[in-house]
Amino acid sequence: MDQFNLEIISPEKSFLIKKDTIEVIVPAIEGYMGILKDHIPIISFLKPGIIDVKSKNETLNFYVDDGIVEFKDNNLSILTSNIFDLKNFDKNNIDRIVKNAEEDLKKENMNDQERFILDQKIEVLNSLKLN
Amino acid sequence: MPSLDDLRKRITSVKSTQKITKAMKMVAAAKLRKAQENAEKGRPYSEKMNNIILNLSAGVSDPHSAPKLLVGTGKQDDHLCVVLTSDRGLCGGFNTNIIKKAKNYFEKIKKQGKSLKIITVGSKGYDQLKRQYGTYIVENISFKDSKNINYFDASKVGGLIIDKFQKNDFDVCTIFYNKFKNVISQIPQAQQIIPLESVDKNKEENLEISYEFEPDEDEILSNLLPKNISTQIFKAMLENSASEQGSRMTAMDNATRNAGDLVDKLTIQYNRSRQAAITKELIEIISGAESL
């Protein structure tokens, strides 16, 4: 199997480093994007959504708020300030974030992009709650 | 000549001071380990962020259309200086070193006849600068209440800077902080964050990889640059907190040792004067007996 390196970094620490990733699906701003080995170099933003990390033995899922993704020479770096492992992401926490997002959505002075991102956030989180 | 009683009191007081400094040293050492860990953990993020921006800015062909945060306003007239210091004292030359570096820079700017604005982060810096540069200080931020350094605080400062930049309040922004090298040496740094310091030309050559961008380049840059400012501030705050603890640890270690020396000296003095008093009494008795 073709494998590449993955590094997820938050400002506080290196969140995850994996050397045997096979596929990563990230919520890029213009739609979900799957990355396999030997992808062309790319830089993109993330919207709120789920990151799927597939490796030989396991599949990991994370929720991110925002971030930047860079792929170069078979090294994928994801920089994000807000990331949660879905395994220990409890319902109360989700409710709290959804509530905050809904509050924010009520504000007047907002451009379409911000509105879109908040909508996305609420949608993704609500779908998480159902599972 | 102090009396025996005075000496005894002084020795106890120096000893209790020594206990305090020793405890502070121990606390600082414990905190230092955590702060250092955090600073090291935080480095990859800011480095990666810088790398991405370098890659992006290398691809910017037309400097006129590039975001102003990257290339500046084209002028160099108004300077904003962000001085990051600690909220607590008793940490040796930590704050003084930053202030010294900053003051040198202020003087240079003033001599060139350019306008100066100062934001202080941390109360110690404000205390030291307000007398001489009080009129230049536009904002004084303190994170005394937040226990740990977090990204949220840094992004507040970052947001403030960007806000001011968009209002055309300044052209050049520099941050001052201490870079943590090791426990005994912290290097005061002046880092220019707006416009981003130009990259070494030879470095750029290695970075010639054509990226695909999604959305387009300009949009990514204009989103990324404000984030980078917050990241740089955050990095500075992490470095600063590690430096502060390191500096305090060294300072308190010195203080403890000094107190030990002082106790030794005072004990010798105490013993001597006690001996002298005994000898004096004996002489008095003997000479009294002789005169009979």
Q: What are phi and psi of A121, to 5 degrees?
A: -60, -50
Would you call B214 and A29 a contact, using CB atoms and an 8 Å cutoff?
yes
Q: How far is CA B1 from the centre of its chain?
A: 43
Residue B194 in contact with residue B72, Cβ under 8 Å?
yes
Residue B117 in contact with residue B81, Cβ under 8 Å?
yes
Would you call A42 and B214 a contact, using CB atoms and an 8 Å cutoff?
yes
pLDDT over 50 at B201, yes or no: no
Higher pLDDT among residues B255 and B207, named by residue: B255
* Interface probe, candidates B34, B211, B229, chain A, greatest A C-beta count within 10 A: B211
Would you call A42 and B234 a contact, using CB atoms and an 8 Å cutoff?
no
**Chain A residues touching B213 at Cβ < 8 A:** 42-44
Average pLDDT over residues B111-129: 91
Question: Would B4-21+252-287 and B33-248 be classified into the same CATH topology?
Answer: no
Phi-psi region of B74 (alpha: psi -120 to 50; beta: other; left: phi over 0): left
Would you call B41 and A42 a contact, using CB atoms and an 8 Å cutoff?
no
CATH 1.10.287.80, applies to B4-21+252-287: yes
pLDDT over 60 at A64, yes or no: yes
User: B212 touching A, CB under 8 A?
Assistant: yes
C-alpha R_g of chain B? 28
CATH architecture, range B33-248: 3-Layer(aba) Sandwich (3.40)
- B240-279: pLDDT as tens digits: 999 999 999 999 999 999 999 999 999 999 999 999 999 9
Match 């409890």 to its residue by tokens. Answer: A90
**Chain B residues touching A10 at Cβ < 8 A:** 45
- A91-110: pLDDT as tens digits: 787 888 888 888 877 777 77
Query: Where do the domains of chain B lie?
Result: 4-21+252-287, 33-248
Could you please report the per-residue DSSP string of B98-157?
A: HHHHHHHHHHHHHHTT-EEEEEEESHHHHHHHHHHHGGGEEEEE--SS-SS--HHHHHHH
User: B207 touching A, CB under 8 A?
Assistant: no
Q: Domains in chain A, please, with CATH? A: 4-85 (2.60.15.10), 90-130 (no CATH)
Nearest chain B residue (CA) to A80: B45
pTM for the whole thing? 0.84
